[in-house]
Amino acid sequence: MASIEQLRPLQVEPPVTFDSVDPATGAPIATFPVDDAEAVGRIVDRSEAAAVWWRSLGFDGRSVHLRRYKSEIARRIDELADLIHRENGKPHGDAVLEITLVVDHLAWASGHAKKVLGPRRVRSGLMAANNASSIEYQPLGVVGVIGPWNYPVFTPMGSIAYALAAGNAVVFKPSEYTPAIGRWLVDAWARAVPEGKDVFLLTTGHAATGAALCRSGVDKIAFTGSAATGRKVMGACAEGLVPVLMECGGKDALLVDADADLHAAADAALWCGMSNGGQTCIGTERVYVADAAYDRFVGILTTMAKELAPGSGEGASWGPPTMPSQVDTIRRHVSDALARGGHAVVGGESSIDGSGVGPTILVDVPEDADAVREETFGPTLTVTRVKDMEEGLALANDSDYGLGGAVFTRSRKRGIELARRMRSGMTSVNSIMTFAMVPGLPFGGVGESGFGRIHGPDGLREFTRSKAVTSQRFALPVNLTSFGRPERATAVAAKLMGAVHGRNR
C-alpha cells in the first residue's frame, strides 16, 4: 500500500524568475524565467524543426516574411522606443534612431541575401576545364545570439536580421538588463510570421543561460558583449567546436587635424562620446588633437559639454546608467586619471553618482592611465595634444581594442588615407559612426574588439557555410584521377603547366 508521503501531490518547484527594472526609478517592468540548460535545450529543439521549414522557403520565400517583420517593427517604432526608454533608460529620440537603423538593415539583408549567397558560377581553370563549377552559401541551421543591453535592438539585430536572411533559425538570449525588449522583438516576429513563429525564439536568464545556449547544440554563436565574457563564451563553444562571432568592446579614437572644422569635430566628439551616456561600443573615448588646433578645440568642446545633462525626462542628453555597476568603473577611471596628473576641464569625480553620470572631459592624462587604455563606457572623453596626425594615429593605434574611429580634417584625401591606416574595423571621415548606418558595409573589430563581421555581404556570409560543387560536362580522353591513366599523362600535364605558367608573366 502507498504511504501518505507517496500520496501527497508532487511538489513542483516554481520556476526561477528575475525582474527587469526601469533604471531611472527601479520600478519593475516584467518578470522572466531564468532558463536552465534543459529549458534552453527544449527551445533549441523547437527552433531546429523550424529551421528546416525556413530553409526550404528559399531566398524569395524568406524575403516575403522578412519584409513583413520589417513592416511590423516600422509601424510600431514609437511603442518599441517607449519600451527601450523604460527598460534601457535612453531618451525616446535616441531609441527611435536606433530602431530606424534596424529597419534599414532588415530591408537590406532581405533584399540582398539571394544575390550575395545564391549559387554563382566560378571559372573551372585548366585542370578541370571539362567541369562547370559553382559556389553557394548555405545556412548553418540554428544560430544562438547573445546580446548586450546598451543598444538592445540595433546590436542583436545586426546578427539576427542577417542570420535569418541567410536562412537560419535564431534563438536569442538578450541581456538580463533588457529582456522585455528581446521579448518584444520575438513577439513582433510571431505576429508578422505566425506560420513560422519558432524560427525566431527567446531564451532569458543570466550568464548560465548564455553558457547553456553555447552548449545546446546550436550551429553558431553570435556574441556581442565585453571581451572578458567573450572569452568565456569561446571556452564553452570550444567544447563542441561551435563557431563564434565576437563583437566585443572598444576604445575608439577620434583624430582632429589642425585644419579641421573644429565646431563639427567637437560636436561629433561629444555626441559619439556621450550620447547614450557613453554606453556605446563604437563611442569615442579618446580624442587626439593636432597641436595647432588643440587650445581652440578644447575651448569649443568645453563650452558645448557644459550644456549637456543626464536625466530621464524630456530634453535629457542621456539617461541613467543602465547597469549600475558600470558607475564604479567610470569613477575608477576618472579618479586614476586625476591622480596621475590629469585635469578635468568639465565634470570630474563630482559629476558621478549612482543616479546619473554627468559629462567629464579629461586633459593631460598619461597614455598608460586606465581612462586611456580600458573601455570606460561612460560620458567621458580624454583629449590629448599631439604634434600632428602621424603622432595621433600612432597613439590611436596603440590600443588593445580596434573597433571604430573617426578622423576630422579639411582634406578628404588625407582623411581617407588616415582612416585606412587606423587599426580598427571601421572609420568615418568628417562624421562619426556613419559606417554603422550603411547596411552594405561590414561591422566588426580587431584585437580585443573581436572578430567576424555583421552587416553587409560579409555579415550575410558570416551565418553560412560555403558549398562548392563541380559537375562534369564531358569526359576528357585522358582521366588524370584514374589508376587507368597512361604513364605519359602526368609528364604531359607537367609540360603543359610549364608552358602556361613557367614564363613568370
Active site residues: 247, 281
Select from 159, 168, 216, 229 the one that contacts ligand NAD (CB under 6 A).
229
When asked if residue 151 is in the footprint of ligand NAD (CB under 6 A), the reply is yes
Contact flags string 272-311 toward ligand NAD, x per CB under 6 A: ---------x------------------------------
When asked if residue 226 is in the footprint of ligand NAD (CB under 6 A), the reply is yes
* C-beta nearest to ligand NAD: residue: 210
Count how many Cα atoms sit within 13 Å of the Cα of residue 398 in the half-sphere of its side chain. Answer: 11
When asked if residue 415 is in the footprint of ligand NAD (CB under 6 A), the reply is no
When asked if residue 207 is in the footprint of ligand NAD (CB under 6 A), the reply is yes
What is the spatial distance between Cα 208 and Cα 205, in angstroms, rounded to a whole number? 7
Using alpha carbons, select from 169, 103, 115, 105 the residue that is nearest to residue 142.
169
Question: At its nearest, how many Å lie between ligand NAD and the CB of residue 34?
Answer: 11
Cell 535569418 found at: 164
Integer-rounded Cα radius of gyration of the chain: 27
C-alpha cell at 129: 576545364
When asked if residue 210 is in the footprint of ligand NAD (CB under 6 A), the reply is yes
When asked if residue 321 is in the footprint of ligand NAD (CB under 6 A), the reply is no
3-state secondary structure 101-117: HHHHHHHHHHHHHHHHH
Task: Order the strands of the 450-451 sheet from edge to edge.
Answer: 200-202, 169-173, 142-146, 220-224, 244-247, 450-451
When asked if residue 248 is in the footprint of ligand NAD (CB under 6 A), the reply is yes
C-alpha cell at 1: 500500500
When asked if residue 81 is in the footprint of ligand NAD (CB under 6 A), the reply is no
| Cα dihedral: 445, 185, 51, 196 (round 10) | -160
What is the spatial distance between Cα 173 and Cα 156, in angstroms, rounded to a whole number? 9
Paired sense of beta strands 142-146 and 169-173, if any = parallel
Q: How many other C-beta atoms are found inside a 10 Å radius of the C-beta of residue 161?
A: 28
When asked if residue 149 is in the footprint of ligand NAD (CB under 6 A), the reply is yes
Near ligand NAD in 351-390, by CB under 6 A: 375
Question: At its nearest, how many Å lie between ligand NAD and the CB of residue 227?
Answer: 7
Near ligand NAD in 156-195, by CB under 6 A: 173, 175-176
483: Cβ contacts below 8 Å, ≥ 6 apart: none
When asked if residue 148 is in the footprint of ligand NAD (CB under 6 A), the reply is yes
Question: At its nearest, how many Å lie between ligand NAD and the CB of residue 329?
Answer: 10
Size of the site for ligand NAD (CB under 6 A): 32
Task: Summarize as ranges the residues that interact with ligand NAD (CB under 6 A).
Answer: 146-151, 155, 173, 175-176, 206-207, 210-211, 214, 224-226, 229, 232-233, 236, 247-250, 281, 323, 375, 403, 445, 450
